[in-house]
Structure 1
Amino acid sequence: MIAYIKGKVSAVEEAGIELETQGIGYEVLCPNPYQFQLHKEVKVHTYHYIREDQQSLYGFKKKEDKLLFAKLLNVSGIGPKGALAILGSVSVPEFVSAIEQEDDKYLTRFPGVGKKTARQMILDLKGKLVIWLPDEENEETLFYQDDLTSGEKRQRIEEALEALKALGYSDKELNKVQPELLKAKEANVDDYVRQGLQLLLKS
């Protein structure tokens, strides 16, 4: 899996960018390609989408956008094109707020999202994205005031949860341990994974 690519933007097009690094040019599809400046060196967080008939590389300026993209792909009725359209027209906190408030009217504003798909997104994602809500909207994030920035700690916990999911734990199990991880002191991703495993073994 390609986590990110650092390189120089050699082309900016309507659907994405060309990113050159060490003599190799990567075609990267993006929600907002024009946020990347031509000939500038950038770090692009990437998601390698693999299917039997397709391989594509999707890129994002912020890691939280990449993580939300991955979450959206798990929703029935949402594919890469639809997920990009959502990320290209809304910030992550705004989208999460709509999910938590079950605002299907707001969600149906996105291209290709009807009422049925909006309800499916709410069903699949509600309660699983609150880690990205601003402090004033989610009291659970108040303890993030430590040596790490709020965004950094949120990303590390989310990566740890994704790693635990890859080990076979269900969303239901992970939702139970997430509040405890949120209350923990700052740590690296590996430490959060170990803490999560300890909590899962106790439950």
Structure 2
Amino acid sequence: MIAYVKGKLTVIHDEAVVVEANGVGYELICPNPFYFQKVMNEEVLIHTYHYVREDFQVLYGFKNEDEKYLFTKLISVSGIGPKGALGVLGSVDIPSFVAAVENEDDKFLTQFPGVGKKTARQIILDLKGKLTAKFTVAPVEERIEVNDHSALKEAEDALKALGYTDREIISIMPSLQNAGLENTDEIIRKALALLMKN
């Protein structure tokens, strides 16, 4: 199995990054590829999970061992595949997720894309008590709710319609995500301000 890939980060897509190592470009599907924007064209070490099925093979990439570990636990849950696991990892911080599992908070878990009430109960059934040895549990009052990525996507589409290139939009994505804005219009205004600075 391929545990990690170390090399130069050459490309960032909406769902993946490409790392060039020894003349080979490895495409790594990530929960949030834009996390790596700050190390574009630099040497990186990205932890990987080599997912093998009869009909295809995929390398999934993670920013640290914790993210990779939770991914492996999530895909062991009945009803959750790699795409669903990435949806969870790309939308929440780990302590908040662990707290929701330990407190059997299925309402919190159903906020994730593709997770209905039945799948949320399955997550709790399969993972409760199995994550606390590895991760800290966020107190309820500090739990971070799931980010609404739909507003960000709408803003991205609007910027493309205004004529901005993918490269320009990718360059400001980390700042937009960290701003914590939920309204599409607010995100667009923030984006335009950032693009004018660049």
Q: TM-score, normalised by structure 2?
A: 0.67
CA shift, 1:40, in A, is 1.8
- Runs of 4+ in structure 1 off by over 6 angstroms are none
Give the letter for the 1:34 counterpart. Answer: F
CA offsets 1:28-68 (integer angstroms, 9 cap, x no match): 00000011132121110000000011100000001100010
How many residue pairs are counted as aligned between the two chains?
A: 137
Match status 1:95 vs 2:112: no
- Where do 5+ consecutive residues of structure 1 fail to align? 138-203
1:18 aligns with 2:26: no
Query: What is aligned with 1:69?
Result: 71
Q: Distance between the aligned counterparts of 2:8 and 2:135, measured in 1? A: 32
Q: Please name the residue that 2:32 is paired with.
A: 32
Distance in 1 of aligned mates of 2:123 and 2:137: 23
Q: Is the 8 A contact 1:97 1:133 kept in 2?
A: no
SS of aligned partner of 2:101: helix
Larger RCO (CA within 8 A; separation ≥ 6): 2
d(CA) in 2 for partners of 1:111 and 1:44?
A: 25
Shift of 1:132: 3.7
Give unpaired runs (5+ residues) of structure 2: 140-198
Report the AA paired with residue 69 of structure 1: F
Secondary structure of 1:119's counterpart equals helix
Instruction: State the partner residue of 1:117.
Output: 119
Counting only pairs closer than 5 Å after superposition, residues 1-203 of structure 1 correspond to structure 2 as 1-37=1-37, 38-134=40-136
In structure 2, distance between residues paired with 1:136 and 1:83: 20
Contact 2:7–2:44 (8 Å) recurs in 1: yes
Deviation, 1:75, is 0.4
Work out the CA distance in 2 between the residues paired with 1:123 and 1:135: 17
Q: Distance in 1 between matches of 2:137 and 2:121?
A: 26
